[in-house]
Amino acid sequence: MQSSGSKEATGMPFVKFDNVQKSYDGRTLVVKGFEMDIDQGEFITLLGPSGSGKSTVLMMMAGFEQPTHGEIYLNGNPIKKLPPHKRGIGLVFQNYALFPHMTVAENLAFPLQVRKMSKSEIEKKVKRALDMVRLSEFGHRRPAHLSGGQQQRVAVARALVFEPGLVLMDEPLGALDKNLREEMQYEIKHIQEDLGVTMIYVTHDQSEALTMSDRIAVFNDGVVQQLATPEELYERPVNAFVAQFICENNRLRGDVIAVDEHACRVQIPNGDIITAKPVAVGKEGERSTLSLRPERIVINPEQGGLPNIFDARVEEVIYLGDHLRTRVSVCESDEFIIKTPNAEGHPNLQRGDTIRIGWSEEDCRALDAS
C-alpha cells in the first residue's frame, strides 16, 4: 500500500469528523454533531437501523453529499470542498457497480487508466488485485458470467487496485445469501488486515459488524449512541437502545427503589424486585429498563447462589443445533429468552414445565427508561 501519512506525522488522526451535521431541507438534521477520529489501518463500522444517518455519513466522506456544518479531514487535510475523484478513496456498494461491457481485468484496470499509469504497471497491479481476491483465472470474463460472490470480490479488488489509504463500503454484502455473506465477511477483514488499509463500513447487520470491526459506531436518529469495540458494545451497552439493537436481549421495565454506585434495586409491576448493575439509571422513583443477555441465564441455580432467582413457565423450546432457545414467562414477560449450549447434560425442558432461573447482578444492567 502507498504511504498515507500517520497521526504522528500530521498531528491528527487519519480520518476526522469535526462536528459534522447534515440537513436536506434546512430544518431537520439527519446527522447531528457527528464527531469521530479514525486511526490509519482501523476497520470502523457504522451500524444502525434504516434512516439513522449512517449512510449519509459515508456519502459525505466520499464527497457525494456535502456537510451542512462542520468539516471532514483526511490525513490532516480538510476535504469538504474536494470533489470525489480527487479524494483517492476506494468505494464498494451493494450493487457492485461493475461495468458490464468490460471484462474483470478491464474493470480493475479502469481506475488505474484514469490515473494515467503505464501499461506495465497496470498489468502488475491488476494481477496482484486478482490474486488477492482469488480470481486470477477469471480476468477474461464479463461480470454477467460470474456468481454474486465473485462479482463482489471484483468490486472489492477494484476499490483496492489503485492502493487507496481509505476504502468505504456501503452494505456491500446485502445481496448475498447467508453462507456466502459470512464467507465474504472474513475475506474482506483478512484483506483489510493484510493491506493495512483503513475501512469505513456501513451495515444494519449486527453480527456482521461484530465479526469484522475494530470499533463500531451505533447510530440512531442521526446521533452516535455508542462508539466502542464489539466486545464492549455487547457486554457493556451504555443505554437501552444499544442493548436492544446489538443482538438478542431480554428487556424488563420497572421503578428504581434503591440505588448507589455499586448496585440498584428495581421493582417491576408484579412486585418482584431485581438487583442490577447501575449504568444509566436515575434516582429512586424513576423508571428503568433492565437489560439481560439470554446466554447469561442460569437454569436451576443453587438456592442463594444468585441474587436474582425466579420461577418461570416454559412456553417454547426450539432446537437450533449448537444451542437450545427456550422462551419462558417470568417477571411479567412472556418473551423472556434463555440460550443454553446443546451439550451433554442440558436440561430436558418441555412446554408447560415450571423451572427456576437466575442471573447475577453484574449481568443485569439498569439502563434508561426509553
Q: Is 4 a residue whose pLDDT tops 60?
A: no
Summarize pLDDT for 270-306 with one digit per residue, the tens: 999 999 999 998 889 999 999 999 999 999 998 888 9
Q: How confident is the model at residue 6 (pLDDT cuts 50, 70, 90)?
A: low
**Domains of the chain as residue ranges with CATH:** 7-235 (3.40.50.300), 248-367 (2.40.50.100)
Strand segments (E) across 221-307: 223-228, 250-259, 264-267, 273-278, 287-292, 298-299
HSE at residue 54, side-chain half, CA atoms within 13 A, is: 26
* R_g of the chain, CA atoms, integer Å: 25
Mean of the per-residue pLDDT values of the chain: 91
CA neighbor of 307 nearest in space, from 276, 268, 269: 276
Report how far residue 68's alpha carbon sits from residue 264's, in angstroms, rounded to the nearest whole number. Answer: 43
Summarize pLDDT for 225-267 with one digit per residue, the tens: 999 999 999 999 999 999 999 999 999 999 999 999 899 999 9
pLDDT for 22 equals: 97
4 vs 77 pLDDT, higher one: 77
* Number of C-beta neighbours around residue 292 at 10 A: 23
The three-state secondary structure class of 145 is: helix
**Which uninterrupted H or E stretch holds 240?**
helix 240-245
pLDDT for 3 equals: 41
pLDDT for 18 equals: 97
Integer CA distances (angstroms), 116 to 98, 112, 162, 349, in order: 20, 6, 11, 68
Summarize pLDDT for 67-111 with one digit per residue, the tens: 999 999 999 999 999 999 899 999 998 777 889 999 999 999 999
